[in-house]
């Protein structure tokens, strides 16, 4: 006898179950106000019902352009529970990019907060009538906008069963755009359920988890933390933005056990003068991802931050490696091994798998993989590598190597490769040397024009506060640590490096800035 056909536990069902069984347990804390699982479940039901009452049907895309808040969390998961597709947008991108994403995904509604309502109003002439009829905003709302709170409160807090299939699209998250035009990454409901369960285990979440979210909730890094916490039945502590003191205060006051942050955030925390004045002993497991983390910073975090420190390398498109603390002790230069249930290989320029130790493009397969790029079959195909078995694997665009123990080492981004005198130079190798210098806080290496070699490396450095760094001396010190073919042409000091909201350095902006420089 078969009682039921097993299917993945979808996120909408998980929220309903947590709301029923966890009841008064805190689900979300914002500005020290606690919202129980029952309240959060009812709130997301109200949002789902309100959207369906406005004529939206399953599969319709809904834009979320908001700052972190309870309303944003309810909107994200309410859209999901309605069987609609949530499209959370990075609030930091230009208006032209917002307009492009709205058009690309074919949105039929927009939920916005704060100044973002005005941004959408300014774009209104280019929006479809469908979208203009469903502009929903947080108070104080602008003319032509529906009041989110009124809409929410008028809707029933009990949601009828909506037959969501595992293969139905759950969300579209646009890429950070560090290497070009952002692409809409589609995840199915089944895929997102695996993100929740697989990463909750890999990142050591538990039912007592209190997870700090201070990156924008549009970021897939935040989604990792949110989904893992939902799966474990823990509590989300949401901050509007990252501020060093507020972050440390929240860890102390709320007994934070888990956090997912980017390297720059950890660096800012450790550099804070009063860091040691805060009680951070509640921390169980913190995760870092989003951009490469230097060995120097890994060691500093492990030494000064309580609990388990875990590095994650991965793509929103769906491939993840994990370096837990027990492996970090012996393989600190790596980014770990594939997370459970994932497979990975290194291929050369001819798409052939290379031997251990050889560098090439990282490809892989997992059940976290996207369905594809929305409305962009060309890019979806370009991101595909056909395994000899016929299976479709994901191309990452990253260069790496795998050692005999199965640990992955990042070499660089394929598009950041510098070809000097016919030799391949990987900026990450040079950056790893420069970051060890006592006067260097941040560094990025790019290729610039060279009359002799075609291209040559240029080091762009943010000096440590109070440092008396000299560009020529730093270049000489660096070149003394490098191979002859890797040597940098010069050092240029910058006040800061251009970064996206997740802390990833925008090297394309640096290449534009120094495009006319020739050595």
Check residue 191 and report its DSSP letter.
H
Q: Are residues 384 and 453 in the same domain?
A: no
Of 170, 186, 202, the position where a domain reaches its end is 186
- The answer as to whether 165 is a domain residue is yes
Tally Cβ neighbours within 10 Å of residue 485.
Answer: 13
E-strand ranges in 250-323 read: 258-261, 285-288, 308-315, 319-323
pLDDT score for 178: 43
- The answer as to whether 333 is a domain residue is no
- The answer as to whether 173 is a domain residue is yes
Number of domains in the chain: 3
Q: Are residues 435 and 389 in the same domain?
A: no
CA 311 – CA 298 distance, rounded (Å)? 9
Cα 407 to Cα 105, 193, 206, 322, 470: the distances in Å are: 37, 26, 26, 10, 37
Give residue 114's domain range. 37-186
Q: Are residues 69 and 91 in the same domain?
A: yes
pLDDT score for 179: 44
- The answer as to whether 434 is a domain residue is yes
pLDDT score for 500: 78
Q: Are residues 349 and 470 in the same domain?
A: no
- CB-based contact 176:504 (threshold 8 Å): yes
Burial class (CB in 10 A: 0-12, 13-18, 19+), 152: buried
E-strand ranges in 50-117 read: 61-65, 85-88, 109-112
- CB-based contact 60:106 (threshold 8 Å): no
E-strand ranges in 48-147 read: 61-65, 85-88, 109-112, 135-137, 146-147
CA 307 – CA 512 distance, rounded (Å)? 41
Q: Are residues 379 and 456 in the same domain?
A: no
Residues 66-86, buried b or exposed e (16+ Cβ, 10 A)?
A: bbbbbbbbbbbbbbbbbbbbb
Q: Are residues 449 and 353 in the same domain?
A: no
Residue closest to 346 by CA, chosen among 389, 285, 383, 396: 396
- CB-based contact 428:409 (threshold 8 Å): no
Q: Are residues 464 and 362 in the same domain?
A: no
Query: Residue 304, SS3?
Result: helix
pLDDT score for 413: 73
Residue closest to 322 by CA, chosen among 333, 312, 307, 308: 312
Q: What is the chain's pLDDT, residue by residue, as a tens digit (519 residues)?
A: 566 666 778 999 999 999 999 999 999 999 989 999 999 999 999 999 999 999 999 999 999 999 999 999 999 999 999 999 999 998 888 788 899 999 999 999 999 999 999 999 999 888 988 899 999 999 999 999 999 999 999 999 999 989 999 999 999 999 854 445 679 999 999 999 999 999 999 999 999 999 999 999 999 999 999 999 999 999 999 999 999 999 999 999 999 999 999 888 998 999 999 999 999 999 999 999 987 788 988 999 999 999 999 999 999 999 999 999 999 999 999 999 999 889 999 999 899 999 999 999 999 999 999 999 999 999 999 999 999 999 999 999 898 999 999 999 998 777 787 877 666 777 888 888 899 999 899 999 988 888 877 788 999 999 988 888 888 989 999 998 887 778 899 999 999 999 877 778 888 889 889 988 889
Which residues have a Cβ under 8 Å from the Cβ of 258 and sit 6 or more positions away? Answer: 203, 204, 205, 209, 210, 211, 212, 225, 228, 229, 234, 283, 284, 285, 286, 287
Q: Are residues 464 and 404 in the same domain?
A: no
- CB-based contact 237:209 (threshold 8 Å): no
**CATH code for the domain of 492:** 3.30.300.30
Q: Are residues 345 and 434 in the same domain?
A: no
CA 248 – CA 259 distance, rounded (Å)? 11
- The answer as to whether 313 is a domain residue is no
Q: Are residues 422 and 452 in the same domain?
A: yes
- The answer as to whether 4 is a domain residue is no
CA 431 – CA 434 distance, rounded (Å)? 5
Query: Residue 122, SS3?
Result: helix
Tally Cβ neighbours within 10 Å of residue 227.
Answer: 23
Of 156, 186, 216, the position where a domain reaches its end is 186
Bridge partners of residue 309, in order along the sequence = 286
Max CA pair span of the chain: 77
CA torsion sign for 352, 354, 360, 364 is positive
- CB-based contact 498:506 (threshold 8 Å): yes
- The answer as to whether 75 is a domain residue is yes
Residue closest to 78 by CA, chosen among 39, 126, 109, 46: 46
E-strand ranges in 249-370 read: 258-261, 285-288, 308-315, 319-323, 337-338, 343-347, 360-365
**CATH code for the domain of 53:** 3.40.50.980
Burial class (CB in 10 A: 0-12, 13-18, 19+), 63: buried
Q: Are residues 421 and 405 in the same domain?
A: no
Q: Are residues 148 and 181 in the same domain?
A: yes
- The answer as to whether 462 is a domain residue is yes
Bridge partners of residue 111, in order along the sequence = 64, 136
Cα 347 to Cα 43, 162, 399, 415: the distances in Å are: 48, 43, 9, 16
**CATH code for the domain of 374:** 2.30.38.10
- The model's pTM is 0.85
Of 389, 414, 439, the position where a domain reaches its end is 414
């Amino acid at each position: 006898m078969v009682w039921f056909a097993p299917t993945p536990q979808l996120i909408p069902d998980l929220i309903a179950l947590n709301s029923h069984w966890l009841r008064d347990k805190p689900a979300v804390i914002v500005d020290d106000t606690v919202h129980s699982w029952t309240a959060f479940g009812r709130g997301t039901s109200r949002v789902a019902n309100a959207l369906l009452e406005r004529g939206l049907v399953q599969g319709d895309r809904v834009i979320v352009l908001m700052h972190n808040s309870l309303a944003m969390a309810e909107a994200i998961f309410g859209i999901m529970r309605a069987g609609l597709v949530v499209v959370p947008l990075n609030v930091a991108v230009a208006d032209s990019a917002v307009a492009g994403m709205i058009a690309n995904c074919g949105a039929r509604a927009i939920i916005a907060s704060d100044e973002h309502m005005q941004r959408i109003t300014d774009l209104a002439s280019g929006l479809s009538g469908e979208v203009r009829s469903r502009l929903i905003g947080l108070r104080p709302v602008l003319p032509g906008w529906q009041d989110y709170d009124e809409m929410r409160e008028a809707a029933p807090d009990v949601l009828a069963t909506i037959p969501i299939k595992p293969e139905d699209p759950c969300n579209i998250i646009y890429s950070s755009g560090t290497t070009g035009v952002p692409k809409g990454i589609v995840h199915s409901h089944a895929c997102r359920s695996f993100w929740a369960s697989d990463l909750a285990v890999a990142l050591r979440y538990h039912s007592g988890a209190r997870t700090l979210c201070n990156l924008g909730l549009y970021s897939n890094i935040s989604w990792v933390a949110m989904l893992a916490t939902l799966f474990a039945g823990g509590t989300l502590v949401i901050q509007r933005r990252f501020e060093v003191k507020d972050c440390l205060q929240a860890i102390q006051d709320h007994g934070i056990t888990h956090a997912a942050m980017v390297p720059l955030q950890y660096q800012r925390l450790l550099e804070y003068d009063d860091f040691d004045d805060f009680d951070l002993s509640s921390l169980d497991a913190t995760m870092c991802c989003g951009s490469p983390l230097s060995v120097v910073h890994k060691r500093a975090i492990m030494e000064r931050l309580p609990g388990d420190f875990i590095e994650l390398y991965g793509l929103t498109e769906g491939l993840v490696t994990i370096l837990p603390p027990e492996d970090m002790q012996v393989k600190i230069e790596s980014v770990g091994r594939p997370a459970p249930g994932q497979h990975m290989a290194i291929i050369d320029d001819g798409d052939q798998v290379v031997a251990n130790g050889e560098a090439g493009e990282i490809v892989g397969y997992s059940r976290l993989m996207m369905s594809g790029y929305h409305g962009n079959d060309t890019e979806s195909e370009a991101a595909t590598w056909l395994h000899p078995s016929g299976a479709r694997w994901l191309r990452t665009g990253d260069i790496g190597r795998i050692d005999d123990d199965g640990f992955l080492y990042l070499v660089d981004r394929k598009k950041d490769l510098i070809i000097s005198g016919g030799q391949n130079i990987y900026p990450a190798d040079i950056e790893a040397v420069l970051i060890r210098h006592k006067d260097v806080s941040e560094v990025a290496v790019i290729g610039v024009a060279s009359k002799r070699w075609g291209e040559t490396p240029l080091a762009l450095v943010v000096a440590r506060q109070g440092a008396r760094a000299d560009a020529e001396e730093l270049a000489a010190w660096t070149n003394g640590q490098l191979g002859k073919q890797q040597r940098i042409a010069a050092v240029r000091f910058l006040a800061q490096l251009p970064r996206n909201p997740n802390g990833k350095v925008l090297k394309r902006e640096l290449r534009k800035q120094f495009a006319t420089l020739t050595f």
